[in-house]
Amino acid sequence: MKLNANIPSGPLVEKWTRHKHEVRLVSPANKRKYDIIVVGTGLAGASAAASLAELGYNVKSFCVQDSPRRAHSVAAQGGINAAKNYRNDGDNVYRLFYDTLKGGDFRAREANVYRLAEVSVNVIDQAVAQGVPFAREYSGYLATRSFGGAQVSRTFYARGQTGQQLLLGAYQALSHQISLGTVKMFPRQEMLELIIVNGHAKGIVVRDLISGKISSVMADAVVLASGGYTNVFCLCTSGGASNVTAAWRAHRKGALFANPCFTQIHPTCIPVSGDYQSKLTLMSESLRNDGRVWVPKNAKDKRPPQDIPDGERDYYLERIYPTYGNLVPRDIASRAAKRVCDEGRGVGVTGLGVYLDFRDAIARFGEKVVKERYGNLFEMYREITAEDAYKTPMRIYPAIHYAMGGLWVDYNLMSNLPGLFVVGEANFADHGANRLGASALMQGLSDGYFILPYTIGDYLARNGVKRPSADAAEAKQAEQETAQRLNKLLSIHGKRTPVEFHKQLGKILWENCGMARQEAGLKTAIQQIAALRDEFWQNVIVPGSHQDLNMALERAGRVADFLELGELICLDALTRAESCGCHFRTEFQTPEGECLRNDADYAYVAAWEFGGVGKPSQLHKEPLVYEEAHMAQRSYK
């Protein structure tokens, strides 16, 4: 298979403008003849569905939650980047482009990243017009703050609830279209299969989670905005319903899965406290604007943090990375935390934690200002840990947070399956091997408001209205396969619950394919996951029926797909014999313990083709050819 990224010709800065001029258009009168399915209602899905409907297409929007407003984008805290240069501090589109490319350790597609930086400014305009209450200065103009991996202040925010506010903006735009009848909304419906007719994605099989009814929905194009897959680790910052099923079902039908091993570890999460724990909670990266990260210099120092004098504290990020200090990118901050904990200097009962201290910020600005900036985060920390971070430093530790990998897409955000578009975290294109803070919101909304509406029109114009009926043989077969799978899950009557399998899978992945990876561990993990998957299909227990609301069945189906994805993640990590961004292979590191990239052999996107369960996946490489940027050794010192 030859992968064509369809990157437009011409200089980097002109590519998107040229491309918009060259894409075919669907005339206003013809748009209403086309049906488009959008799966997922997070930032990417809701913005895409609303924007496509505004253009005149008929949109059918699906989500698994009871309301589109609950998609997990809602939980993003810190902010959204945009190259507005409101601070007059030297920001511009090129700098945001370069910071993002460098932050991703030069494993992202250059042309996509440039376009992302370019449209970032429109996203802020759009959000403000929708009524997103971004923080403002006393002058009445928009405020910004700093985030990791940047030396400019370009992050817009709405307290610690930026994701929620941006999602409400998109949800309200979607609601407006629903009221106009241009979007038909289907909440509590889960996509369980992709329908392919004559090689094109033409529909999906969905299960109504309340009635259990399985049906096919057909369209002229399918957009997946189903989010990331980090829940494969079981313990992560994702919501409980976040899953890979929609993307994985498409993968099984031929869509390539790119860079699955690029999973981000977020440095500032509340440490794990027990086996019963269902999720890990993030403390926004914005806290690193004013909080200082440290551990005791002496591993045996067990005094309470406030009793340890400055001379006996190791502010290790400020020491090792004086230029960026506490604002180094996430992968670097996470590994540094792991290193000091591995040295035995970790804090808290488990020893897996470091301090994030606001003592100096409170002394400098007063408690009132700190409260204004981060009040809700301190509140959340208190609820979870019963500790007061105004008086004693927070304890934090890295946790799995975001998937840079995802379904492979070309410049038009279309997968290798014609008619299947993938937007937001579900695709792979923009963040390389590590995503910078506040860039996920930027990408999701850019894809949905300003990129997909142009590129999907080109596909539709070229292919015309070709919507098969829901009685098509391909649809009936997909429905049948779905029902068989559900019946199989219900008929095993084994001894272990879906959650038990999920936890075990997560443990295997975290230990062997988490913050540090090495060849032997990855090989063992692949075997362990295959064995676990076999056991799952013989020993899982799922009570109830599929003709009713059955959350155990929902979980079982998602875990079954995670058990296949987990193996691919390890295979991808094993094949990529270099370290880059979040992918840290212990065999490949600099003397200082930083990532040692290998551009000669691995400057490519690894796009995997499904080969069957338990059978080898086939690797296709998209070489990363940079026309403008130079692949440099990353340095934040």
Partner 1 sequence: MKVTVRVWRQKNPQSLGGFVEYEVKDVSPATSFLEMLDVLNEQLIKQSKEPVHFDSDCREGICGMCSCMINGEAHGPENKVTTCQTYMRSFKDGDVITVEPFRAKAFPLVKDLVVDRSAFDRIIQAGGFISVTAGSAPEANTVPLSKYHSDLAMDAAACIGCGACVAACKNASANLFVAAKVAHLNLLPQGAPEKDPRVLAMVEAMTKEGFGACSVSGSCEAVCPKGIVTSFISRMNHDFLTAALKLRVHSARV
- Footprint of partner 1 on 29-58 (CB under 8 A): 47, 50-51, 54
Least distance CB 56 / partner 1 (angstroms)? 11
Q: What contacts 24+ positions apart, CB below 8 Å, involve 384-392?
A: 384/270, 384/281, 385/270, 389/358, 390/358, 390/362, 391/306, 392/304, 392/305, 392/306
End-to-end CA distance of the chain: 42
Select from 10, 543, 611, 614 the one that contacts partner 1 (CB under 8 A).
Answer: 543
Q: Taking Cα atoms as reference points, which of 368, 429, 365, 372 lies closest to residue 403? A: 429
DSSP 383: H
Q: Taking Cα atoms as reference points, which of 105, 76, 82 lies closest to residue 95? A: 82
Under DSSP, is residue 85 helix (H, G, I), strand (E, B) or coil? coil
Residue reference for tokens 């996107």 = 605
Q: Which is nearer to partner 1, 23 or 619 (CB)?
A: 23
Q: Examine residue 434 and tell whether it contacts partner 1 (CB under 8 A).
A: no
Q: How far is CA 204 from CA 44, 326, 371, 389, in A?
A: 19, 45, 47, 48
| Catalytic residue selected from 115, 330, 345, 533 | 330
Helix/strand/coil (H/E/C) assignment for every residue in 473-541 = HHHHHHHHHHHHHHHHHHHCCCCECHHHHHHHHHHHHHHHHCCCECHHHHHHHHHHHHHHHHHHHHHEC
Task: Mark residues 462-481: x for contact with partner 1 by CB under 8 A, - for none.
Answer: --------------------
* φ, ψ for residue 479, nearest 5 deg: -60, -45
Least distance CB 498 / partner 1 (angstroms)? 8
Q: Are strands 58-62 and 183-186 parallel, antiparallel or unpaired?
A: parallel
Select from 197, 461, 492, 499 the one that contacts partner 1 (CB under 8 A).
Answer: 499
Residue pair 612/361 in contact (Cβ under 8 Å)? The answer is no
- Applying the rule CB under 8 A, the residues between 58 and 97 that interact with partner 1 are 65-70, 72, 74-75, 84, 86
Q: Which is nearer to partner 1, 128 or 613 (CB)?
A: 128
- Applying the rule CB under 8 A, the residues between 300 and 359 that interact with partner 1 are none
Q: Examine residue 383 and tell whether it contacts partner 1 (CB under 8 A).
A: yes
Q: Taking Cα atoms as reference points, which of 542, 627, 633, 635 lies closest to residue 109? A: 627
Sole window of 173-181, 197-205, 327-335, 393-401 interacting with partner 1 (rule: CB under 8 A): 173-181
Q: Which is nearer to partner 1, 13 or 549 (CB)?
A: 549
- Applying the rule CB under 8 A, the residues between 548 and 577 that interact with partner 1 are 548-552
Select from 20, 87, 176, 507 the one that contacts partner 1 (CB under 8 A).
Answer: 176
Least distance CB 459 / partner 1 (angstroms)? 19
Sole window of 24-32, 170-178, 427-435, 509-517 interacting with partner 1 (rule: CB under 8 A): 170-178
- Applying the rule CB under 8 A, the residues between 203 and 222 that interact with partner 1 are 210
Sole window of 94-102, 104-112, 169-177, 609-617 interacting with partner 1 (rule: CB under 8 A): 169-177
Under DSSP, is residue 433 helix (H, G, I), strand (E, B) or coil? coil
Q: Examine residue 142 and tell whether it contacts partner 1 (CB under 8 A).
A: yes
Q: Examine residue 16 and tell whether it contacts partner 1 (CB under 8 A).
A: no
- Applying the rule CB under 8 A, the residues between 180 and 199 that interact with partner 1 are 185, 187
Residue reference for tokens 């940047």 = 150
Catalytic residue check, 319: no
Kindly give the interhelix angle for 452-463 and 43-55, rounded to the nearest 10 degrees.
50
Sole window of 92-100, 175-183, 557-565, 605-613 interacting with partner 1 (rule: CB under 8 A): 175-183
| Residues with active-site annotation | 330
